[in-house]
Every structure is written in structure tokens, then in C-alpha cells.
Amino acid sequence: MTQRNPSPVEKILQRTDISPQYRAALEVKLAFHNQHNAIAFQPGVVAKHRADLKAIFEEVVEHRRQSGSYEDYDEWTFGSDIGPTILDSHLLPFTLRCMEVGNDDLVPLELQRWAKVKEKSPSWQKVMHGKPTTYHPSMGPVAEMSEMMTL
């Protein structure tokens, strides 16, 4: 039997006092939920995605070995001859996010050390202004973070 996460929409659809337009919109929302979110957070699915992520991170570490940037934490993934790539621009915030939310166990030490060094770099500071990748209400309203809106 397939496990699934229920949607609150199911309960609303049981009501008889909703308009046909609202019902149609809820049915579309429920169909999307059933296709994507209903199975998303089941233990088996989560375990598979965690294993996939570990494999991707290990592949990046292998690229660092091959490019000579392994254990040179100030270096980009493919070395200084190539410089920063699209991979680096996505890998750095994603690695930092994994670490910030307590998923350090997914990130190899090589990438944890690299991310911590890069987090202190002028280019990262210019973009993030010392803020983490996760938002917390104590940081104030997003609309007031004008320094984050421009480079």
C-alpha cells in the first residue's frame, strides 16, 4: 500500500457551500498535491533523495580532486584556470543551507570547509551582507532589507 500525505483541500471539497469556481480551483490544487506532494515526504522517498544528494556531493568532491582544488578551500570547484561556474553559484548557497538547517551529515567535510571559507569571501559578503541563507523573523521585514536588493 502506498503511503500518502493528505491534503487539507480534501476536507474543504466535502463542503456543499462552495462555489463551482472555487470547487474547480480546489480540484486542480488537489490534483497537483496528489501528483507531487502526497508522496514527497514519505520515509522511503526522503531516504532516496538524501542518498541522491550525497552522491551528487561526492561527485563534486571528485571534480575538486581532479581539478586540483581539493583541500584548497578558497578555490572554485574546477580550479583557478576556470574560475567560478554556475555549479559553484548554486552549490555554495545550497551547501550553506544544508549546514544551517542541520543537515551537515549530507555534506562531505571537503564541501563544508569550502563553504565556510567562501562564506567569508568578499563576493559572498557583497551579496549576503553577513546574513544566513535562511530567513528568520528576527532579521526584520524582508521589504526593509534594501541592501539585499542591489549589488
Phi, psi values for residue 116, rounded to 5°: -65, -40
Domain ranges of the chain: 9-37, 43-133
Look at residue 1 in the predicted model and tell me its pLDDT: 47
Asked if pLDDT for residue 86 goes beyond 90, the answer is yes
CA distance linking residue 18 with residue 30, whole number of Å? 15
Give the count of beta carbons closer than 10 Å to the beta carbon of residue 70.
17
Segment 1-22 shows an average pLDDT of 89
- Of the listed ranges 27-31, 62-66, 122-126, 144-148, the least confidently predicted one is 144-148
* Residue-wise pLDDT tens digits, 92-130: 999 999 999 999 999 999 999 999 999 999 999 998 988
Segment 68-91 shows an average pLDDT of 93
Asked if pLDDT for residue 45 goes beyond 90, the answer is no
Cell 578558497 belongs to residue? 74
CA distance linking residue 8 with residue 23, whole number of Å? 13
Look at residue 151 in the predicted model and tell me its pLDDT: 65
